[in-house]
Amino acid sequence: MSSNSTADNLCAPDDTLCTIREHQQAVIIVPTLLLFATLVTLLALFSLRFCPQRKRKRTRVTAPQSYNHSSHRHTQRNRHRHHLQGIDAPPGINPLEHEELPMSVQEARQNVRPTLAAPPQVTAERHHGAFSQITILPLSFSVKPDDTVSLYRARMDNRDVVLRVLKETANSSDKQHFLGFTSFVSGLGPHPFIPALLGVVSVQSPHMMVVEELQHRDLLGFLWRCRRDNPGLESSCDMTEKRIFTMAGQVASALEYLHSQSCIHGNVGARSVLVGRDLTAKLWGLGSTYRRRTQPGSPGEVEDMELRKWQAPEVLARRVISQSSDVWSFGILLYEMVTLGDPPFAEIMATELLQHLQRGNHLRRPAGCSSSLYAVIRSCCHWNPQHRLSVSELIRKLQTGEKSANGRTVLRVPEPLHIERYLREAGYGEAYNYAVL
């Protein structure tokens, strides 16, 4: 006889409570157990999907010379995880927490402006054995050295590169910032006038970022070498107005690309531009760009007193920074180029610059600066951000000026360079390493 008929026999027809007690196991307990088992299964699947076990293996390298020894285990681990490519890893995997994930970069674009079609991606993960002839990168003048990063010059794939190496003494916060900055540069993608990211070492310690080396290094030092008093002057250092328009157009192209990626540079100046063997200018100094990207919506701030004379009035006043703030700094860059490295507003103290600008003062016209070039400087350095040139308008003016600019007369500065005076006039409170790599 069935359980239903049994329950009917035991309970009176109108005794509902008795009927519920008799069917409790079939109606309540069994479905509850099935629901609980389903939840446990889903939780186990979720844990396996989003919480993979982390297997960290660290290889201590105590000297740059040790970079010539590769790791067989490292190669095997990459072979098993080739489908995970850092910032392009599946959702739920944080490349800053899983150092086994290699970064990835895009193939270099041939044209200047970004295209809609995404280029193919290739892994940029390197191992320490890929580098040779490693030497410490000499600095022009240093103060306030970086305690977390060391710079080296090396050879990789028959080309000169710069290694930006995280020191072994760096803490976990420094490491996360370093890997985050590397992911940020990788995510920007390539541009002909931004130094190329050639690789990263993220699976082994020491972590490093591999960037192409540009022979003439920073533009500020290059301009100083172009001065009359420089012994052993090379003809390649000769700066003409036409070359200024050309190099400035290259920097403006890189700035336009950053703006198209919703990035504000915030540190445009000769110290943040690198010069290649063929005098191609490439915009670098992206550290402040990364910090601003990770903290969107923050008001403009002058991070160092040394940068005040390059910053727009709204930044000095701690208002919201914008793309037009970069245009102001670009005008200061043009001033540096035509003066062969003179500091802007040399006669004004950095702490008094905002009041000086509020009175309607502006950059003086340098000796030997044509009216067309000075007009571009003034259009960039307008007090009202809305009245400044847009970057696209700036590029058009630079291209027009290049066609008619003087390409024969070499710019010279009669006064020799005194580094102490430069530091004082540029607003440096103390000696500072302006190297931006």
pLDDT of residue 11: 73
Residue 1 banded pLDDT, cuts 50, 70, 90: very low
Strand partners, 274: 218, 282
pLDDT of residue 281: 97
- Write out pLDDT tens, residues 252-281: 999 999 999 999 999 999 999 999 999 999
State the span(s) of the chain assigned CATH 1.10.510.10: 217-425
Highest averaged pLDDT of the listed ranges 78-82, 145-149, 178-182, 398-402: 398-402
pLDDT of residue 106: 44
Cα(169)–Cα(148) distance, integer angstroms:
7
State the span(s) of the chain assigned CATH 3.30.200.20: 81-212
Cα–Cα separations (whole angstroms), residue 34 to 38, 374, 385, 415: 6, 80, 66, 88
Cα–Cα separations (whole angstroms), residue 174 to 170, 351, 383: 6, 31, 38
pLDDT of residue 42: 86
Short-list 272, 142, 269, 255, CA closest to 218: 272
Inter-axis angle of helices 241-260 and 371-380, to 10 degrees? 20
Residue 197 banded pLDDT, cuts 50, 70, 90: very high
Q: Is the pLDDT of residue 312 over 90?
A: yes
- Write out pLDDT tens, residues 217-228: 999 999 998 886
Question: What residue has token string 């995404």?
Answer: 118
pLDDT of residue 206: 86
Cα–Cα separations (whole angstroms), residue 4 to 10, 22, 23, 24, 131: 10, 9, 8, 12, 81
Average pLDDT over residues 325-354: 95
Q: Which fold has domain 217-425?
A: Transferase(Phosphotransferase); domain 1 (1.10.510)
C-alpha triplet 308, 375, 425: angle, nearest 5°: 30
Average pLDDT over residues 327-342: 97
Q: Is the pLDDT of residue 305 over 70?
A: no
Task: State yes or no: cis peptide before 138, omega within 30 of 0.
Answer: no
Asked if 152 and 163 count as a contact pair (C-beta separation under 8 A), the reply is yes
Cα(94)–Cα(48) distance, integer angstroms:
15
Q: Is the pLDDT of residue 393 over 90?
A: yes
Cα–Cα separations (whole angstroms), residue 172 to 111, 177, 304, 432: 39, 9, 25, 26
Comparing 98 with 290, the larger pLDDT belongs to 290
- Write out pLDDT tens, residues 99-126: 333 444 444 443 444 333 333 344 466 6
Highest averaged pLDDT of the listed ranges 34-38, 139-143, 340-344: 340-344
pLDDT of residue 360: 92
Q: Is the pLDDT of residue 199 over 80?
A: yes
Q: How many CA atoms lie within 13 A of 339 on its CB side?
A: 23
Asked if 350 and 359 count as a contact pair (C-beta separation under 8 A), the reply is no
- Write out pLDDT tens, residues 44-98: 887 777 665 444 444 343 334 434 434 444 444 444 433 333 333 334 333 333 3
**CATH hierarchy code of domain 81-212:** 3.30.200.20
